[in-house]
Chain A
Amino acid sequence: MDFVAQLTLFVLAIFLGVELITKVPPTLHTPLMSGSNAISGITLVGALIAAGSDAGLLINVLGFIAVVLATINVIGGFMVTNRMLAMFKRK
């Protein structure tokens, strides 16, 4: 993908993000933060490629670290968000 296409994606996604997030009520701001932590664990995708490649030990070590950190974010983030939101759901 060329740079301009990447930049287009980046800028449009920021606008979309602003539109979406301003509609989240203050009462859900904490779950929003933990949820976006989980989503930013998408770095896991890059981490998987580095950890599973055959590009040498250093790459694999860095990949392993990245996989561990990103997985903590993904699993921890989604689980704790779910735990909080379940408390908001009951009436």
Chain B
Amino acid sequence: MQISDNWIDIAYLISAILFVLGIKGLTKPKTAVRGNMLAAAGMGVACVVTLLHRDIVTYEIIIAGVIVGGVIGAILAKKVQMTAMPQLVALLNGFGGGASFAVAAAEFFRGGHPDVVGIIATGAAVLIGAVTLTGSFVAFAKLQELIGGKPMGFPGMKLVNALLLIGSLVAIGYLVMNPGTPLVFWALAIAAAVLGVLLVLPIGGADMPVVIALLNSYSGIAASAAGFVMGNSALIVTGSLVGASGLILTQIMCKAMNRSLTNVLFGVMAEAGEAMDQDEVYEGKIKSTSAEEVAMVLETAQRVVIVPGFGLAMAQAQHAVRELADTIEAHGGEVEYAIHPVAGRMPGHMNVLLAEAEVPYDKLKDMDAINPTFEQTDVAIVLGANDVTNPLAREDKGSPIYGMPILNVDKAKTVVVVKRSLSPGFAGLPNPLFAKDNTLMLFGDGKGAVVDITTALKEG
């Protein structure tokens, strides 16, 4: 059965409406599940109606592709651990870019749209799609620790990147003049793929939230470009929705680190004005404590704030933390969680982990909401977070992180920092918080330490 293009476009309009309503649902935790369902329904409408498109003559390849992709997708979605969400999203970004690349390539070799706009859109879809594909795989490899999380590069890397980008743009220009040159097309694809790798390699592990959000945006823009190639309204609208979403998240992440996007992508962190000596900051001022001592402090605490960081995810300590919070509440204390926007490896990472451990979402407070309350907080427990609590960002104008918004944990009556050692965080700076009079250091494995405190509190 075939239907006219008008009906197909009307069906695409319906799916676009469903996507918009779906995202709208995501603005509240209560309506979010329904929102996701609406978006999925929109996808269903778009796909079913496309199967009736007049260009589709065989279904064997489609069925095979859908089965292979569906099985892989379902397995990924079922098996992934919540701590590994950043890796999964990085991978999905890459697949999205790859799909747009392949669609644009197919359209190019079909030679259906020889006009200038069509070729430029094809070039854009290939360039952005390939960069997204390989860049996301590098991000995945870094997050999965297949390769080191440290920035990697070589002298002249920026020059090579600039040449690759200019070369890609020249190739697109050449294709506009001579659309029938497959060799130039593949050269463009390869240059873009290499560019994707080189763009993400020099970015460090802690900047991954920004990179993932940006690649998320790219995958949307690539889909949109593919839509321009095919003259398909569904792709254009949906791709730009996703592109906007990624851009906003990128902006939020950059703001939370007080760095510009250019600085995250191409810069290294500024050198410290005067080299901060770790020994000078810590010497004789560190008070090491035990789980029993922490339990004694917690026993009488009225208000406790838990500050999770990436270390919580590393230690898979979210369930242990929930147990500790339950125990504190059983002793009459109130517990809330302070979530810095860049805590973890992607936007909202900590929230998902704590939600998995059944922490009610209204106890998860963002930075602006929780900061004024630290002065009325008896105990702040810092778990695997470092730079986002560093008072240097507030006080030391010469510090490279000066101006970065931080969680003011040092204002709490007592601060307990659970940490393996005094090693610095990603910024490579000593943290004067550890040396404050009201700070107790509990050295050890994050999960083990939390379990020990809980046990001591239950027994005490």
Give residues in A with beta carbon < 8 Å to B: 1, 3, 6, 9-11, 13-18, 20-56, 58-60, 62-91
Contacts and interface: CB of A to CB of B under 8 A. Distances in A.
Interface of B is mostly: helix
B29 A36 contact: no
Contact of A1 (B99, B102, B231): B231
Interface in B222-252: 222-224, 226-249, 252
B242 A59 contact: no
Nearest to A11: B240
A59 B43 CA distance: 23
B47 A64 contact: no
Nearest to B94: A69
A87 B29 CA distance: 10
Contacts of A21: 23, 244-245, 248-249
Interface string B185-217: 000000000000000000000000000110010
Given A20-B23, A40-B219, A33 B96 contact: no
B61 A45 contact: no
A50 B106 contact: yes
B221 to A, nearest CB: 9
A53 to B, nearest CB: 5
Contacts of A29: 249, 252, 346-348, 351
B352 A89 contact: no
A41 B228 CA distance: 16
A30 B35 CA distance: 15
A66 B89 contact: no
Interface of B: 12, 15, 19-20, 22-24, 26-30, 32-33, 35-37, 39-40, 42-43, 46-47, 50-51, 53, 55-59, 61-62, 64-66, 68-70, 72-74, 76-78, 80, 82, 85, 88-89, 92-93, 95-96, 98-100, 102-103, 105-107, 109-110, 117, 212-213, 216, 219-220, 222-224, 226-249, 252, 339, 341, 346-349, 351-352, 355-356, 358, 360-361, 364, 366
Contacts of A14: 240-241, 243-244
Nearest to A76: B73
B103 A46 contact: yes
Contacts of A90: 358
Contacts of A6: 227-228, 231, 233, 236
22 contacts: A6-B228, A9-B236, A13-B237, A18-B244, A27-B366, A31-B352, A33-B246, A33-B346, A33-B347, A39-B43, A40-B239, A48-B50, A51-B65, A56-B109, A65-B65, A65-B98, A66-B106, A72-B70, A73-B95, A75-B70, A76-B92, A80-B85
A81 to B, nearest CB: 5
A40 B238 contact: yes
Nearest to B96: A40
A59 to B, nearest CB: 5
A34 to B, nearest CB: 6
Contacts of A53: 55-57, 110
B103 A31 contact: no
Contact of B96 (A32, A52, A70): A70
A66 B129 CA distance: 12
Contacts of B228: 3, 6, 10
A24 B26 contact: yes
A34 B87 CA distance: 11
Contacts of B64: 64
A79 B78 contact: yes
B102 A47 contact: yes
A35 B352 CA distance: 14
Contact of B36 (A11, A13, A35, A71): A35
A14 to B, nearest CB: 5
